[in-house]
Chains A and B, each alone.
Chain A
Amino acid sequence: MPDDPAQDNYERFVRLFTRHEAAVRAFVRAMMPRPDHCDEIMQEVSIVAWRKFDDLATAGGDEFCRWACTIARFEVLKHRRRLARDRLVLDEDVLKLLADEALDEIEVRSRQREALDGCLKKLKPAQRELVIQAYSPGPTISEIAAALGKTRDALYQALRRIRAQLLICIERSLERETGL
């Protein structure tokens, strides 16, 4: 059988990256909430991570996630410098605070994401339907609001209430399961 170490390394990288992509994306999103910014940064993170993957030769999955988030932290700060004149871009010192604290929360955030599925099922059907519509790729909030005959503000308010409900549910789930 052919044995190509470079190919093996690449396949290992792709598997690790796809497994931890959601965690890294969530890490980035706290600092750069705009989806287009987040996508650009994630693209850079994947390129840089692959380029430096040899540095991580012996690392396991958990180490990979933290390592990729460290790369993401750097890329967020780099991206921020390009966007310095844009609105709603946090100052560098605030981003550093958020990022450094987030590096210590990777595991708990991952558990929170796992608990979400169960909490979504506990929502009322109409609430769940609204969440699916609002977060699915496709129509914008304004489009959905118009289709439902609501104002955009009313829809944002409804989604805020649902998110608060979900966060409470997630916290309770983790308390029950892990005592966190």
Chain B
Amino acid sequence: MDHADQRLIALYLEGRMTDDEFAAFQRRLRDDPGIRARLRAEANLESALHDLTATDARVTELWNAAGGEADESNGSPSRDRRAVFRPLWRAVAAVVALGILTGLLIWLNAEDPVEHAVTAALWDRAGSVAVVDSAGRLRSVDAGVTLRPGDKIRSHGDNSFATVGFTDGTRIQLVGETSIALSGTEPMRFTLFSGLITAKVARQPDDNPMVIETPNDLVEVLGTEFALETSSEHTDIHVRSGRVRLIRSTDGKAVLLSKGERALSDVHKDELLIKADRAPADTWEESFEQRLPGDWRRGEFVRNDLPAGSLGGVRNQFEPRWNSYLIDSSMRWIEGLFVVHADTHLHFTFMMEQPGWMNLFLLTRTHDESNPTDLFQYNAAPFSSATPDAWYMLSIPLSQWKRNDDQHGTGFVGPPPPSGDLVCAVSWSSRHVDRGLVIDRVWVTRGGPGKVEMTPLR
């Protein structure tokens, strides 16, 4: 294998060949089994690198710390970038906010105020966030960096967020796997490609509202607070105050939403559904009797070898990208699965084919605008003492969970979820080893044993 052949293979896999190079490459492939074998070996390596690094991405981005997945053989977690940066970002954000406030006071006191153009800036971020300009170049993600029309802002991983602030006081927060593009600042206009934003929008001119485009809808905002979630198939908007108009692009159907109202535009449904706002639930239950709920993100529905009388359960599912075996509940950012109280307990009935270490995670929505999500871990040591294939009930007070708070490089050592926070997702996870975890039922109550309790099912 000479250098020229290696170069051709590399260029081909990188997708960067000229037409002449490609013609030469095809000739070499026809003539030489050696270069064909080398191409397959390199493609195999590329594919495996994507799989393996996605595992690392899972560790550093989704769960935000390798400590969350520390196993028996290696209990040393990696550092949590988010927690390390958090105090710095808060300080910088405070300085930026102070600067804006000072500017505002100067403007208010000026005898002859000048019309200032509204500009946008990245105010804060945590986890994995990228800003790319219209030419595809990566831009700085330093707090305070000015954003320009055409910039795309992307937060990557469930526990990441980015806050975009405008000089009129409007604030847009991207949460989790979300990407937006800023189209303009006067009028304010941007595209939400997918994911979830929360927004506090300063009063806009009646004839020039802020406009948000989603894949299938337009949202006009005059000044309000709301949460907006979108995918290629739906737009879900929840208005906390003020008024917002949702317009479906395909047929022009529109609905005006007021405080406490929620609308769902779905490409498979004719009507724009409006739901009344509901108080967050104190309890939660899934029993998987007929099927795995459609929005559960990972897990296989099973019908066999369940406790007496049960018709269905969920088994952990291998996720090759992260080399992990997972059961992931639905992600309910807007309404939450349940609200945290001091006496909240999570219970589930389970069986394991290979008992051993596992982790449980809770993703929560906080009331802290500078830190909208938190991740909590419970290292489920009791699993290790289970008998293979036997059924148990495990009860865990939420006070036993620990926040990812890795300022000292020690992983999940923070306090438990505070009362009032919303739990948006629950996950069970083991890396590398298929524990064969099957859950028959999971439920949340107020009150319980007040300690971790695992009892065999009869």
Q: Are B29 and A97 in contact (CB under 8 A)?
A: yes
Residues of B within 8 A of A14 (CB): 300, 317
Q: Are A136 and B57 in contact (CB under 8 A)?
A: yes
Partner of A98, one of B36, B130, B132: B36
Q: Are B311 and A2 in contact (CB under 8 A)?
A: yes
Residues of B within 8 A of A8 (CB): 304
Partner of A101, one of B33, B46, B304: B33
Partner of B138, one of A26, A135, A147, A163: A147
Query: Does chain B have a CB within 8 A of A126?
Result: no
Q: Are A143 and B138 in contact (CB under 8 A)?
A: yes
Query: Does chain A have a CB within 8 A of B455?
Result: no
Residues of B within 8 A of A71 (CB): none
A21 to B323 Cα, complex, angstroms: 12
A144 to B137 Cα, complex, angstroms: 9
Closest to A99 in B: B40
Closest to A139 in B: B130
Query: In angstroms, how far is the closest chain A Cβ from the Cβ of B237?
Result: 27
Query: Does chain A have a CB within 8 A of B54?
Result: yes
9-residue interface stretch from A43-51, A53-61, A108-116: A108-116
Residues of A within 8 A of B53 (CB): 131-132, 134-136
Residues of B within 8 A of A112 (CB): 41, 44-45, 48
A142 to B44 Cα, complex, angstroms: 23
Query: In angstroms, how far is the closest chain A Cβ from the Cβ of B308?
Result: 9
Interface size class of B (residues with CB under 8 A): 35 or more
Residues of A within 8 A of B19 (CB): 87
Query: Does chain B have a CB within 8 A of A4?
Result: yes
Q: Are B44 and A113 in contact (CB under 8 A)?
A: yes
Residues of B within 8 A of A97 (CB): 29-30, 36
- By secondary structure, the A interface counts as helix
Q: Are B52 and A117 in contact (CB under 8 A)?
A: yes
User: Given known contacts A18-B320, A142-B138, A143-B138, is B36 in contact with A109 (CB within 8 Å)?
Assistant: no
Query: In angstroms, how far is the closest chain A Cβ from the Cβ of B37?
Result: 7
Query: Does chain A have a CB within 8 A of B24?
Result: no
Encode A92-112 as 1/0 by CB contact (under 8 A) with B: 011001100110010001001
Residues of B within 8 A of A90 (CB): 26, 29
Q: Are A140 and B136 in contact (CB under 8 A)?
A: yes
Residues of A within 8 A of B13 (CB): 33
Closest to B135 in A: A142
Query: Does chain B have a CB within 8 A of A160?
Result: yes
Residues of A within 8 A of B320 (CB): 18, 21-22
Query: Does chain B have a CB within 8 A of A81?
Result: no
Q: Are A26 and B57 in contact (CB under 8 A)?
A: no
Query: Does chain B have a CB within 8 A of A30?
Result: yes
Residues of A within 8 A of B137 (CB): 142-143, 146
Q: Are B12 and A131 in contact (CB under 8 A)?
A: no
Interface size class of A (residues with CB under 8 A): 35 or more
A162 to B42 Cα, complex, angstroms: 12
User: Given known contacts A22-B320, A90-B29, is B14 in contact with A30 (CB within 8 Å)?
Assistant: no
Closest to A21 in B: B320
Encode B46-80 as 1/0 by CB contact (under 8 A) with A: 11111111101100000000000000000000000
Q: Which of B121-176 contact A (CB under 8 A)?
A: 128, 130, 132, 136-138, 154, 156
Residues of B within 8 A of A98 (CB): 29, 36, 39-40
Query: Does chain B have a CB within 8 A of A40?
Result: no
**B6, B49, B128: most-surrounded residue (chain A CB, <10 A):** B49
Closest to A142 in B: B136
Q: Are A109 and B22 in contact (CB under 8 A)?
A: no
**A136, A144, A167, A170: most-surrounded residue (chain B CB, <10 A):** A136
Q: Can you add 4 more A-B contacts, CB < 8 Å, to A98-B40, A135-B49, A160-B10?
A: A1-B303, A116-B45, A132-B57, A139-B138
A-B contact pairs, 12 of them (CB 8 A): A2-B304, A2-B311, A21-B320, A22-B51, A33-B12, A113-B48, A113-B51, A136-B56, A143-B130, A146-B138, A160-B10, A163-B46
Give chain A's interface residues, CB within 8 Å of chain B. Answer: 1-4, 7-8, 11, 14, 18-19, 21-22, 25-26, 29-30, 33-35, 87-88, 90-91, 93-94, 97-98, 101-102, 105, 109, 112-113, 116-117, 120, 131-132, 134-144, 146-147, 156, 160, 163-164, 166-167, 170
